[in-house]
Amino acid sequence: MAFPHRLDAPELPDFSMLKRLARDQLIYLLEQLPGKKDLFIEADLMSPLDRIANVSILKQHEVDKLYKVENKPALSSNEQLCFLVRPRIKNMRYIANLVNADKLAGRFRKYKVILTPQKFYACEMVLEEEGVYGDVSCDEWAFSLLPLDVDLLSMELPEFFRDYFLEGDQRWINTVAQALHLLSTLYGPFPNCYGIGRCAKMSYDLWRKLEEEEDSETKGRRPEIGHIFLLDRDMDFVTALCSQVVYEGLVDDTFRIKCGSVDFGPEVTSSDKSLKVLLNAEDKVFNEIRNEHFSNVFGFLSQKARNLQAQYDRRRGMDIKQMKNFVSQELKGLKQEHRLLSLHIGACESIMKKKTKQDFQELIKTEHALLEGFNIRESTSYIEEHIDRQVSPIESLRLMCLLSITENGLIPKDYRSLKTQYLQSYGPEHLLTFSNLRRAGLLTEQAPGDTLTAVENKVSKLVTDKAADTRWNLAQISSPGKITDAFSSLAKRSNFRAISKKLNLIPRVDGEYDLKVPRDMAYVFSGAYVPLSCRIIEQVLERRSWQGLDEVVRLLNCSEFAFTDMAKEDKASSESLRLILVVFLGGCTFSEISALRFLGREKGYRFIFLTTAITNSARLMEAMSEVKA
């Protein structure tokens, strides 16, 4: 059932080299402070660090104790302190305060600050303003790419999204350019580059500049990856805002996958302990279900359990020799598989329990209605009820944003009333959240003239009332009903609507969408919607350019670019020309990854993902939320 890779699928480059590079550099930096030292690590960096250098490696290089950087005085009594932090002003203040406290107490220690992925002048400025610049040494650990999986690289910079798309802060673009430069040094130049969005363009330009400055030896190198595709998150918020229903996405939505691993609580492990589980291609069970629609997963797992039992059962009727063989060779693998299987079954059950409780089917139905643009009134009251009942601040916000984006903004009346309701339910401080969302274009008010006429409204209601009731249960998630072409033309003059129509994002389906045998990328949203970002990638790759997509680009309101270097392309093998690196600036979701993996299998490509961070709807909303200090 899990789709095997096509036989002619190209081999992926080995990205473990990136880990080794980062580790060696870190060790070098630690060795610069010889002798015993205590290491202070920023909380966000702990998981990524663990993937690069575990505690025993740190100990080997004379790290004595590990502390978390938090707003508490440091208890360390060591004479040498090393800080491993992101280049944030907050952190620099923390360090400066610590140094100044030591000075007051007449204590002299050695301090070393390792900033990753790069130093910022502003940080050093803070140290200078606080009067400790001379007391600490600042170094840069250029650790910008963490391979989370064989085909997934993450920069682990969740703040990229807020910094760039909300605050307009461009400082991470340089980091992106550096990361791309590193990739092209290690894996050869990219013959074909495509991109969409302002940030993508800036990153690309800066990256090109870096390549030019270094009249490098890479020029003669054979390209290992044929294409690179850069895209800004803000060209497609819709996909990121949808509830995820492929297994990996659902696990992320439910349990939060952090840096490639997840903490399964007691309700999953069916013991009294939580368990940290790495989720990647090495987990054989997970690898088979990660891209599956959730409705298939349970069936698959029970089939797998039966097979496993059958394998165990082979023991009966074995003679001594066979038994010995079985124990020494197969048993361990079976046990491992058994363990993983029971974990994922536990996770599934837990997801089921949570989802049914929250009326998940109603939610999905509303989402699909929003995507298709029918029954807007009903969806709006659903959202209102959601808010009134205080179901979840993040979820309510997400639905409001989804409504706003698909409808090209809320009509003024709804805009005011939903916000008022929201403030009453979840607290007045969210006034700031709304200001942020408006700035980022996630929750806006319709410009006058964009509203539907009353007639249109009635017609669309007529159509959609007939839409089949869908349900969410274990057996299947059926696809929602479709509006006929004639009626959808009456839909709003919204850009999403127009784009959706142009790119055929809402597939027309006769009968049920068979989620077991997906026929297009829409399967990641139960057949209701093809992720916009992935569709764009598909279309551009098909054409090898943006030709014919002018209208879409105009509607997206983003600038696009494409460059092909024939000289490099001639050097590339046909295999490498089927490898595509997709760079998501501002984060990508597991649903998008699954959709593109599917596309790859269909077309014989293989996608590699580079993202500033893994994201989902909740993370996006949290990034925009203002919480009381």
Partner 1 sequence: MDCYTANWNPLGDSAFYRKYELYSMDWDLKEELKDCLVAAAPYGGPIALLRNCWRKEKAASMRPVLEIYSASGMPLASLLWKSGPVVALGWSAEEELLCVQEDGAVLVYGLHGDFRRHFSMGNEVLQNRVLDARIFHTEFGSGVAILTGAYRFTLSANVGDLKLRRMPEVPGLQSAPSCWTTLCHDRVTHILLAVGPDLYLLDHATCSTVTPAGLAPGVSSFLQMAVSFTYRYLALFTDTGYIWMGTASLKEKLCEFNCNIRAPPKQMVWCSRPRSKEKAVVVAWERRLMVVGNAPESIQFVLDEDSYLVPELDGVRIFSRSTHEFLHEVPVASEEIFKIASMAPGALLLEAQKEYEKESQKADEYLREIQELGQLVQAVQQCIEAAGHEHQPDMQKSLLRAASFGKCFLDRFPPDSFVRMCQDLRVLNAIRDYHIGIPLTYSQYKQLTIQVLLDRLVLRRLYPLAIQICEYLRLPEVQGVSRILAHWACYKVQQKDVSDEDVARAINQKLGDTPGVSYSDIAARAYGCGRTELAIKLLEYEPRSGEQVPLLLKMKRSKLALSKAIESGDTDLVFTVLLHLKNELNRGDFFMTLRNQPMALSLYRQFCKHQELDTLKDLYNQDDNHQELGSFHIRASYASEERIEGRVASLQTAADAFYKAKNEFAAKATEDQMRLLRLQRRLEDELGGHFLDLSLHDTVTTLILGGHNKRAEQLARDFRIPDKRLWWLKLAALANLEDWEELEKFSKSKKSPIGYLPFVEICMKQHNKYEAKKYASRVSPEQKVKALLLVGDVAQAADVAIEHRNETELSLVLSHCTGATDGATADKIQRARAQAQKK
Which residues are at the interface with partner 1 (CB under 8 A)? 89-90, 93, 119-122, 125-126, 129, 163, 167-171, 173-174, 177, 202, 205-206, 209, 212-213, 215, 384-385, 388-390, 416, 419-421, 423-429, 431-432, 435, 468-469, 471, 473, 626, 628-629
What is the CA angle 373-378-384, rounded to 5?
115
Q: Which of 503, 250, 492 is nearest to 370 (CA)?
A: 492
Q: Which residues, in sequence order, are CB contacts of 150 under 8 Å at separation 6+? A: 12, 15, 280, 281
Please identify, using beta-carbon distances, which residue of 419 and 568 lies nearer to partner 1: 419
Burial class of residue 121 in the structure, from the number of CB atoms within 10 Å of its CB (0-12 exposed, 13-18 middle, 19+ buried): exposed
Tokens of 386: 């959601």
Q: Which residues, in sequence order, are CB contacts of 333 under 8 Å at separation 6+? A: none
Kindly state the smallest distance separating residue 194's Cβ from partner 1, in Å.
20
Kindly state the smallest distance separating residue 180's Cβ from partner 1, in Å.
13
Kindly state the smallest distance separating residue 453's Cβ from partner 1, in Å.
25
Please identify, using beta-carbon distances, which residue of 302 and 435 lies nearer to partner 1: 435
Report the relative pairing of strands 80-85 and 110-115 from DSSP bridges. Answer: parallel
Distance of CA 7 to the CA centre of its chain: 28
Please identify, using beta-carbon distances, which residue of 475 and 517 lies nearer to partner 1: 475
Kindly state the smallest distance separating residue 159's Cβ from partner 1, in Å.
11
Q: Which of 91, 86, 240, 115 is nearest to 165 (CA)?
A: 240
Matching residue, tokens 């033309």: 489
Please identify, using beta-carbon distances, which residue of 201 and 344 lies nearer to partner 1: 201
Is-contact 521 531, C-beta < 8 A? yes
What 165-168 contacts at long range (C-beta under 8 Å, 24+ apart), as own/partner pairs, is 165/232, 165/233, 165/234, 165/440, 165/586, 166/436, 166/439, 166/440, 166/623, 166/624
Kindly state the smallest distance separating residue 459's Cβ from partner 1, in Å.
22
Tally of residues, the chain: 629
Please identify, using beta-carbon distances, which residue of 173 and 585 lies nearer to partner 1: 173
Kindly state the smallest distance separating residue 294's Cβ from partner 1, in Å.
18
Kindly state the smallest distance separating residue 504's Cβ from partner 1, in Å.
28
Kindly state the smallest distance separating residue 358's Cβ from partner 1, in Å.
12
Kindly state the smallest distance separating residue 201's Cβ from partner 1, in Å.
10
Write the Ramachandran bin of 259: left for phi over 0, alpha for psi from -120 to 50, otherwise beta: left
Is-contact 403 422, C-beta < 8 A? no
The residues with which 137 forms a beta bridge, in sequence order, are 112
Please identify, using beta-carbon distances, which residue of 305 and 432 lies nearer to partner 1: 432
Please identify, using beta-carbon distances, which residue of 336 and 390 lies nearer to partner 1: 390
Please identify, using beta-carbon distances, which residue of 215 and 485 lies nearer to partner 1: 215
Is-contact 249 594, C-beta < 8 A? yes
Beta strands in 146-200 (DSSP E): 146-149, 152-154, 192-196
Please identify, using beta-carbon distances, which residue of 177 and 289 lies nearer to partner 1: 177
Please identify, using beta-carbon distances, which residue of 93 and 258 lies nearer to partner 1: 93
Distances (CA, A) of 403 to 250, 378, 444: 21, 12, 10
Kindly state the smallest distance separating residue 423's Cβ from partner 1, in Å.
6
